[in-house]
């Protein structure tokens, strides 16, 4: 056996544990979910039977599915840009030479390390009608009428967006901060010698160099926007009238409350397709604009 063959075998043996775990906990569940979406839900002694595209036809005619899908699109549009912009601004702030920089970094990052259930309960207290902190400000200080933020169809989803932005911005800030610290200081010196202002340096040097980081953050933000369950379970349970229900929560509801595993698998396939299309767009279109030689 040649040295080249030994190196290839050694490399594959090193990759084997990770490949087995990836196949067992990622690829196999995805394929099994697609397969189960073409069967009915087994109930008691009645085994699952092949139903073809019936589950997908049911999905097309399901008004709740379309409502939660629209909710999820609005949720993504409302949380992803704001989380990324806020994270970038916070990173710029704590990257400068300011008093209390370490405290600010800790304060911005603290929401990230809190458990999601704890975060949901904290904000549940903020939004509580009558005596919540938000009510104390809007009613007691501003003199506005009391409002049930989580119980109103017009504000329930927006309230969840605020919680998500508050929790995720500090996490994304860490990546931007690391990327900012990796930019060579000579670039700023060269820009200053050329007479570029701080705004020009930011727009023409810093932001283009941070595009790979932005792509990485964007991928994570898109995934997070479609996998929120914890906050909904604690704060709204999808109400009122599905106004705050998102796609993954609807899958959880169908699968574990109504025990319709086949329809839940069908919904999961749709979610996988949406995330796959988003990933293709990000890596085939946006990635071409993020790397500079």
Q: What is the pLDDT of residue 55?
A: 94
- Residue 77 neighbours by CB distance under 10 Å: 12
Distance, in Å, from the CA atom of 279 to the CA atom of 29, rounded to the nearest integer, reads: 19
Q: Which domains does the chain have, with CATH numbers?
A: 62-289 (1.10.3720.10)
Q: What is the pLDDT of residue 137?
A: 83
Predicted confidence band of residue 293 (pLDDT cuts 50, 70, 90): very low
Q: What is the pLDDT of residue 1?
A: 64
Q: For 52-77, what is each residue's pLDDT tens digit?
A: 899 999 999 999 999 999 999 999 99
Predicted confidence band of residue 180 (pLDDT cuts 50, 70, 90): very high
Task: Look at 57-66, 71-80, 144-153, 155-164 and tell me which has the smallest mean pLDDT.
Answer: 144-153
- Mean confidence (pLDDT) of the chain: 89
Average pLDDT score over residue span 271-285: 85
Q: Is 246 exposed, middle or buried, given 0-12, 13-18 or 19+ CB atoms closer than 10 A? A: buried
Q: Helices 156-182 and 211-225: crossing angle, nearest 10°?
A: 150
Structure tokens at 265: 């698998």
Alpha helices by DSSP H, the chain = 3-22, 28-36, 54-60, 63-95, 101-113, 116-127, 133-135, 156-182, 185-193, 198-201, 207-209, 211-225, 230-235, 247-256, 261-281
Distance, in Å, from the CA atom of 12 to the CA atom of 33, rounded to the nearest integer, reads: 28
Q: For 250-263, what is each residue's pLDDT tens digit?
A: 999 999 888 899 99
Burial code (b: 16+ CB inside 10 Å, e: under 16) for 19-49 equals: eeeeeeeeeeeeeebeebbbbbbeeeeeeee
Q: For 4-14, what is each residue's pLDDT tens digit?
A: 888 888 888 89
Give SS3 for 50.
strand
Average pLDDT score over residue span 139-157: 87
Average pLDDT score over residue span 95-111: 85
Predicted confidence band of residue 196 (pLDDT cuts 50, 70, 90): confident
Instruction: Give, in order, the Cα–Cα distances in Å from 238 to each of 14, 100, 249.
Output: 45, 40, 8
Distance, in Å, from the CA atom of 197 to the CA atom of 188, rounded to the nearest integer, reads: 10
pTM higher than 0.85 for the full model?
Answer: yes
Distance, in Å, from the CA atom of 54 to the CA atom of 51, rounded to the nearest integer, reads: 6
Q: Is the distance from CB of 189 to CB of 40 less than 8 angstroms?
A: no
Q: What is the pLDDT of residue 285?
A: 75
Q: Is the distance from CB of 96 to CB of 188 less than 8 angstroms?
A: no
Instruction: Give, in order, the Cα–Cα distances in Å from 186 to each of 98, 189, 192.
Output: 21, 5, 10
């Amino acid at each position: 056996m040649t040295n080249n063959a030994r190196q290839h075998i050694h490399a594959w043996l090193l990759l084997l544990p990770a490949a087995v775990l990836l196949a067992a906990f990622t690829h196999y569940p995805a394929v099994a979910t697609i397969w189960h979406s073409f069967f009915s839900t087994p109930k008691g002694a009645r085994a699952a039977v092949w139903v073809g595209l019936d589950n997908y036809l049911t999905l097309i005619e399901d008004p709740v599915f379309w409502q939660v899908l629209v909710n999820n699109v609005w949720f993504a549009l409302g949380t992803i840009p704001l989380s990324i912009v806020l994270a970038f601004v916070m990173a710029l702030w704590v990257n400068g030479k300011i008093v209390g920089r370490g405290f600010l970094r800790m304060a911005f990052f603290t929401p990230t390390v809190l458990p999601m259930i704890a975060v949901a309960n904290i904000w549940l207290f903020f939004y509580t009608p009558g005596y919540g902190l938000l009510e104390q400000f809007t009613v007691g200080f501003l003199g506005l009428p009391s409002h049930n933020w989580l119980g109103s169809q017009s504000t329930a989803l927006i309230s969840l967006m605020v919680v998500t932005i508050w929790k995720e911005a500090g996490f994304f800030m860490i990546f931007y901060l690391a990327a900012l610290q990796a930019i060579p200081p000579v670039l700023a010196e060269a820009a200053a010698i050329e007479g570029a202002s701080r705004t020009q340096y930011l727009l023409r040097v810093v932001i283009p160099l941070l595009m790979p980081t932005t792509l990485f953050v964007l991928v994570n933000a898109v995934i997070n926007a479609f996998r929120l369950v914890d906050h909904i379970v604690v704060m709204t349970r999808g109400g009122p009238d599905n106004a705050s229900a998102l796609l993954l929560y609807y899958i959880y509801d169908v699968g574990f409350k109504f025990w319709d595993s086949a329809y839940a698998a069908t919904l999961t396939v749709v979610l996988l397709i949406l995330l796959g299309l988003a990933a293709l767009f990000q890596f085939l279109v946006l990635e071409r604009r993020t790397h500079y030689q």
